[in-house]
Amino acid sequence: MPSQLSRSPLALLPLLLLAACAKAPAENLPLTSSAPTTQISSVPALLSFADWRQALRAEALSKGIDAAVFDHAFSGIIPDPAVMKADSSQPEFTRPVWEYLDGAVSASRIGRGRVLLAQHNLMLREIEQRYGVDAPVLVAVWGLESNFGNNIGSNSVIRSLATLAYEGRRQGFWRNQLLAALQILQHGDIPSERMIGSWAGAMGQTQFMPTTYNEHAVDFDGDGKRDLWTSSGDALASAAHYLQTSGWQRGQPWGFEVRLPKQFDYFHADPEQRRTLAEWQALGVVPVGGGKSVSPDSRATLVLPAGHRGPAFLLLDNFRSILRYNNSTSYALAIGLLADNFLKPSEIQASWPRDERQLGRSERIELQELLAKNGFDPGPADGIIGANTRKAIRLLQLQQGEPADGYPNLELLELLRTR
């Protein structure tokens, strides 16, 4: 699920497309509460884990957690080295968007989703009526987050979050998640022994983080508990509630593939620029296959996930709602394409540049350093291709007479190495 660790909608382009998707099905960090958090131990190395746990216990009890609930949840809990390894690892290479989509929108996942849409038709229609979120999109989220409930993780959520809150990065964030997890136990929705999830504490069939759970999980099946682990109804309705809160518009598309005219000014393909469909049409942007029935006043962003050599998409407000769930363009594309394919076969018409190698993290950092050295101001050299880096790349591309799509590639890096 989405995360406040993420940047503004549509801000992460191809090289960070998989930042929140560790695998397919994805393990994602959900959007969390914006409430400030208390950080008793800002330098955990100064405290033993036992002392840190005692300080946390005092804080939890002051927030209404029963002593018995806390003590039972932390019985036998020690830091998990595997969680720390996962938190600190920064893979050198990420899969390109086309490889991610190949796996996420596979024939087997499409087929299974169609079966489940029919099997749970009545439940899904009731959820759709109550929350205004289209059933195929919910089943697509279900499929990507947990392989339709078959892969919800096996880590103790309390142990994972305690490890991260004690010695991980962003300790305030993780401490807030840990306290929220204790509130879930206090509420009685699930015992601590069954509170399992990903290494980062994402839980259940729709992979909610604890703060997201507390804000958006619902008891759809009416058994008195919000059970995202074993109740598909609760999990899907909770995802619908979240997307509803994120502004989902029922019956509206997420976006569609488009064809660009020759000599198109790729400066318009900027995630920060939004225009009406009528304005895009005036620029010669044409929907592939006739597009979908959408008001010409609807606003959309033009995105090229693999640069000007790959497919182009106009992305509408519902795409932005999916990004609230997981701020990864590849993930949101997968949700939209998977949902479309549940209803009828739908393939991307343009070809992906499968012959193009993605830049590794160290190469992205080098690219940013060289852009700065040449006066293009890409922002910090952190390997993240954000708005400032894209603008710097566009300026370099314009200077070279190349399509200014803001897309980093090996050719661009090699050019800068020779300057």
Residue range 260-296, pLDDT digits in tens:
999 999 989 988 899 999 999 999 999 998 767 799 9
Report the pLDDT value the prediction gives residue 31, as an integer from 0 to 100. Answer: 30
CA-based end-to-end distance of the chain:
42
Report the pLDDT value the prediction gives residue 45, as an integer from 0 to 100. Answer: 53
H helix runs in 355-409, sequence order: 361-373, 387-400
Residue range 81-109, pLDDT digits in tens:
999 999 988 788 888 999 999 999 999 99
Enumerate the domain spans of the chain: 1-250+328-338, 255-327+339-343, 361-418
CA proximity to 157, closest of 180, 140, 126, 186: 180
Euclidean distance between CA atoms 272 and 11, whole angstroms: 8
Q: What is the pTM of this model?
A: 0.87
* pLDDT lower than 70: segments of the chain: 1-45, 291
**40: amino acid identity, one letter:** I
DSSP 65-130: --HHHHHHHTTT----HHHHHHHH---S----HHHHHHHHT-HHHHHHHHHHHHHTHHHHHHHHHH
Euclidean distance between CA atoms 245 and 243, whole angstroms: 5
Q: Answer whether the bond into residue 253 is a cis peptide, omega within 30°.
A: no
Report the pLDDT value the prediction gives residue 85, as an integer from 0 to 100. Answer: 94
Largest separation between any pair of C-alpha atoms in the chain:
68
**b/e per residue, 379-409, with b = 16+ CB within 10 A?**
eebebbbbbbbbbbbbbbbeeeebbbbbbbb
Euclidean distance between CA atoms 71 and 186, whole angstroms: 12
Written as six digits, the tokens of 270 are 């900027």
Distance from chain centroid for Cα 96: 16
Written as six digits, the tokens of 371 are 């852009």
Report the pLDDT value the prediction gives residue 291, as an integer from 0 to 100. Answer: 65
The CA-CA-CA angle for residues 294, 277, 258, to 5°, reads 90
Q: Tell me the chain's radius of gyration from C-alpha atoms.
A: 22
Written as six digits, the tokens of 172 are 């305030």
Report the pLDDT value the prediction gives residue 34, as an integer from 0 to 100. Answer: 31
- Residue 304 contacts residue 259 (beta carbons within 8 Å): no
CB atoms within 10 A of CB 89: 9
Euclidean distance between CA atoms 5 and 288, whole angstroms: 34
The continuous run of DSSP H or E covering 35 comes out as: none
